[in-house]
Chain A
Amino acid sequence: MSEDSSSSELSEIEIKLLDLAKSNPDGISNDDIKKQIPDVPLTEITAIINKFLRNGTFDLFKTKDNLLYKYKDPSNKSTVKGADSEEKVVYKIIEEAGNKGIWIRDIRFSSNLNMTQLNKVLKSLETKKLVKVVKSVSASKKKVYMLYDLEPDSSVTGGAWYQDQDFESEFVDVLNQQCHRYLVEKLEEAMKKPGGPLLARNRSYATANDVHKFISELGISKVSLTVDDIESILYTVVLDDKAERIKAANGSNLYKATNRFLPSSGIVKITCGICPIANRCANTGSINPKACSYLSEWLNQ
């Protein structure tokens, strides 16, 4: 029953006091408490009330020299507790932004507070653990504010592809390769089976769900990926020109590994076609075909 006892393990008296407060939405005075809970020393009651006030379960009111304690629902407890009107306004703005968060500049515009004042308010809200700062992945220096207990949206954290604001490109690359492998295997399998080319083509199509299942079974991902995540990976495979995407009758996307039209052409087989300093190459000067080390290397291959 000491002050140290955590709020989750409420003592008998605390529960009694809470019930009393809940049953009187207009608030309870010290006299009410004394009447209802007579057998507890006043010092102990005071300690409990102080604790409730601190964690926001109770609100303190003063009416005609009389102190009233009012119960407050913990789900929206935060607006209270010593918050001045500025804090309330700012809190409300942040609350409206939801789990996408809001940038400090936007808060300033909508609250009409000046910078120093706003900083003070935000700091105080932060220390009260009402709001928190989340770093956005889209711009590393941009910070957004949101309510303390909210889970940030994937547009802020970047979803499955980000870890601590860092894009995990290796992870994406591996997934890209695996998705492509799956499609190629599917194509080869379809080609082996008897039946015409139309049948083979139709068999080689895979939905994102199929690929999702395959990737989940592989167990290469630490985080759980959604089908949408796989769709965006598959789109990169399409962009790599290794697969094509068509719309199925039900509106979902179908994917299929494809071949390209051309074999690798002459211009990319020799170093000149891919030379980074081709623009500076001439018959005279230090960069010239006679002494080109890239060309020599290529010839010695």
Chain B
Amino acid sequence: MSSQLGKVVSLILIDRFGPVVERVGTSLYQFGSSPLLHIKKRTDLPISKIKESLTILIKYQLATFAVNQNENIANYSIDTDKVLLMLRYPKYINIIKKKFGDSSEMIVEECLQRSYITASEVILKVHERLTKNEESIPLSQLKNEFISLVNAKYLIRLPVNEAVDKPVPKLVEQEIHTLPPVDVILLQKFKAGEAVLLPDKDIYWHVNFDRFHQDMRDKIIISAFTKKFDENAGELVKILLQQMYIRTDPWADVTNPIPILEIKDLARKQKNLGQLNAFFDQYVNVIEQDHSNLIRKSGEASGGSFQIYLKDAYKQFAWELIEQCVMEKFDSKAARIFRLVKLKQYIEPNMIQKLVMIPAKEAKRLTYQLYEENFLHIQELRKQAVGGGGPSKLYTLFHIKLELVARMILELCYKTLFNIMTRRNHDKSTNKRIIDKKQRVDTITLGMRSQGAEEEQLAEIEEMITPPEKEIIARIEKNMKKLNSIELEIDDTIFLLQMYLMYN
């Protein structure tokens, strides 16, 4: 909860839902959980608008409500994590596309856009979209795809209101993974325009972000091992992680032991892993003996079983990430000092100067610069002189509080997000005239082309945009692209840090 995060949240809300919702959201963020009338007092908006905004926020699960002490009133609060997740939607869609294909992607896309939706509705909608694209996939196949998404827990059921008689509804989760009763024949009839009652009328589904985060977490681990060792080691870890889910709670710190023979069998079944199968035992050895110690042998039974230390893995990643920050922000020498302090845990300034092989003065400067920027912390030890009369001796020890530094970097990420968005909005608004013009020209050309206009006419209209304008447009497009892609990458960093903080 920081002012920086609040600014990002308000920018996201303004971007997606407009200024009114943003005002309500920001007020909820600033003052915390509050009832309707308080929001009205603070925002000075008409009550109908506030109600509308709250409905939108609750619909997209960005706000939650709970019963006030007075049971007739609800307290509303905003869920900032969910708001931030809106930036991650493209990633979720991409994950599904890679794993299940295009039509599943559309299902998830619809779910994300509508926030919650019934199975029948989404199947019909996707079918409609596919027919528009001149692809025909039978409804039954779409139904199967939807079911497999539910089975894989990417979609879960929305909690339902149980206490009907109370003024403030209470949502209860029930059987979130039960399959929807979708009847393809009824769907076809419904599509044909017949008045049929769909069996899953009140069963709504929404996206299970948690499941996506597991995928993202695994992907980071796999790519890390691929980078550190090679592809084969990455594949090995991938199979290990797959097998993890059978035995372990997905968010456990350490997985339960996984017998290596099982992994071996699975690896053998995959054809493209010749190299891995040939040297399977060696790969296991190399990974196990690496001093990062993320995969450890837990027992000798059935050819040895192994555990993945997920918590440690993310701790390691967080260290590396912060080391990167130090390295880029200061220089490689500062990173060297930082790592030395990390290795020694507590260290005196004299030792630092001796071990890092940097001129004493320079080492001192860098150390205190790191301290100034809160990357290093100081622990002072006072030793009373014998006899009490003499001056007491003071030892200064440097150390690192990783969690503090991680939170600081996270804060910096929020700030960066805010800067990116502000910059993008600013660039858009300063060049609004040219962007609008370009859009107008584009629509005109599109319209004329569909009417079958001559090439010459089209070229004439194209020329309405002067060369310098074209240059500006090209530059803006380039900038937007760059800002958008860095926004996604910053989100990756945020995800990594959040994972670390969660495990911690």
The chain A residues found within 8 Å of chain B, CB to CB, are 137-138, 161, 166-167, 169, 172, 176, 196-199, 201, 232-233, 235-236, 239-241, 244, 246, 258-270, 272-274, 276, 278, 281, 283, 288-290, 292, 295, 299
- Compute how far the CA of A166 lies from the CA of B361 in the bound complex, rounded to whole angstroms: 11
Cβ of B224 < 8 Å from any Cβ of A? yes
Known: A239-B356, A260-B228, A290-B426. A299 touches B482 (CB 8 A): yes
Known A233-B357, A240-B336, A267-B490; judge A262-B329 contact (CB<8 A). no
Q: Point out the residues of chain B lying under 8 angstroms from A246, CB to CB.
A: 291
Distance A268 CA – B279 CA, assembled complex (angstroms):
37
What is B's interface to A at a CB cutoff of 8 Å?
7, 223-225, 227-230, 232-233, 278-279, 282-283, 285-286, 291-292, 316-317, 320-321, 323-325, 327-329, 332, 335-336, 339-340, 343, 355-360, 362, 409, 412-413, 415-416, 418-420, 422-423, 426, 478-479, 482-483, 486, 488-493, 496
Query: A274 and B419: CB pair below 8 A?
Result: no
**Complex interface: chain B residues within 8 A of A264 (CB):** 324
* Total contacts A-B at CB 8 Å: 152
A295 in contact with B419 given A246-B291, A265-B324, A266-B491 (CB within 8 Å): yes
Q: A240-B339, A262-B317 are in contact. Are A289 and B419 (CB under 8 A)?
A: yes
Contact (Cβ within 8 A) B359 A167:
yes
A137 to B359, CA, bound (A): 10
CB-CB nearest in chain B for A275 = B329
Partner of A244, one of B291, B409, B483, B490: B291
CB distance A281 to B415 under 8 Å? yes
A269 to B236, CA, bound (A): 30
Q: A191 to chain B: closest CB distance in Å?
A: 9
Q: Which residues on A sit within 8 Å (CB–CB) of B7?
A: 283
19 contacts between A and B (CB under 8 A): A138-B360, A169-B359, A196-B283, A197-B279, A197-B282, A235-B355, A240-B339, A244-B291, A261-B227, A262-B320, A265-B324, A267-B324, A270-B420, A272-B416, A272-B420, A274-B328, A283-B7, A292-B419, A299-B478
CA distance A99 to B482 in the complex (A): 62
Inter-chain contact B282/A236, CB cutoff 8 Å: no
Q: Which residues from chain A contact B286 at a C-beta distance below 8 Å? A: 197-198, 201
What separation, in Å, do the CA atoms of A272 and B421 have in the docked complex? 13
Q: Is A273 a contact of B325 with CB atoms below 8 Å?
A: yes
Partner of B492, one of A166, A241, A265, A281: A265
Report B-chain residues with C-beta under 8 Å of the C-beta of A268.
Answer: 324-325, 327-329
Known: A240-B332, A289-B423. A269 touches B321 (CB 8 A): no
Question: Which 3 residue pairs are nearest across A and B when measured between Cβ atoms?
Answer: A266-B489, A196-B279, A289-B419
* Contact in complex: A261, B486 (CB < 8 Å): no
- Of all chain B residues, which has the CB nearest A276? B329
Contact of A283 among B224, B282, B422 (CB under 8 A): B422
Instruction: Give the residue name and chain of the B residue nearest to A266 (CB).
Output: B489
